[in-house]
Chain A
Amino acid sequence: NAGVTQTPKFRVLKTGQSMTLLCAQDMNHEYMYWYRQDPGMGLRLIHYSVGEGTTAKGEVPDGYNVSRLKKQNFLLGLESAAPSQTSVYFCASSYYRTGPGELFFGEGSRLTVL
Chain B
Amino acid sequence: AQKITQTQPGMFVQEKEAVTLDCTYDTSDQSYGLFWYKQPSSGEMIFLIYQGSYDEQNATEGRYSLNFQKARKSANLVISASQLGDSAMYFCAMREDGGGSNYKLTFGKGTLLTVNP
Interface residues of A (CB under 8 A from B): 31, 33, 35, 40-45, 48, 50, 56, 58-59, 88, 90, 92, 94, 96, 100-105, 107-108
Contact A108–B102 (Cβ < 8 Å): no
Contact with A along B40-58 (1 / 0, CB 8 A): 0001110100101000000
B69-117 interface with A by 8 A CB criterion: 91, 93, 95, 102-110
Contact B109–A33 (Cβ < 8 Å): no
**A33 CA / B45 CA spacing, docked (Å):** 14
Instruction: Give chain A's interface secondary structure class.
Output: strand
**A88 CA / B42 CA spacing, docked (Å):** 13
Q: A100-B50, A100-B52 are in contact. Are A43 and B102 (CB under 8 A)?
A: no
**A70 CA / B4 CA spacing, docked (Å):** 32
Q: A101-B33, A103-B47, A108-B43 are in contact. Are A42 and B102 (CB under 8 A)?
A: no
Contact B107–A43 (Cβ < 8 Å): yes
Contact B103–A94 (Cβ < 8 Å): yes
Residues in A with CB closer than 8 Å to B25 are none
**A88 CA / B110 CA spacing, docked (Å):** 15
Instruction: Give chain B's interface secondary structure class.
Output: strand
Instruction: Count B interface residues, CB 8 Å.
Output: 22
**A96 CA / B32 CA spacing, docked (Å):** 13
Residues in A with CB closer than 8 Å to B95 are 101
Contact B52–A90 (Cβ < 8 Å): no
Contact A105–B45 (Cβ < 8 Å): yes
Shortest beta-carbon distance from A42 to chain B in Å = 4
Residue among A56, A100, A107, A108 with the most chain B CB within 10 A? A100
**A82 CA / B4 CA spacing, docked (Å):** 28
Instruction: Verify if B35 is at the interface (C-beta below 8 Å from A).
Output: yes
**A59 CA / B47 CA spacing, docked (Å):** 22
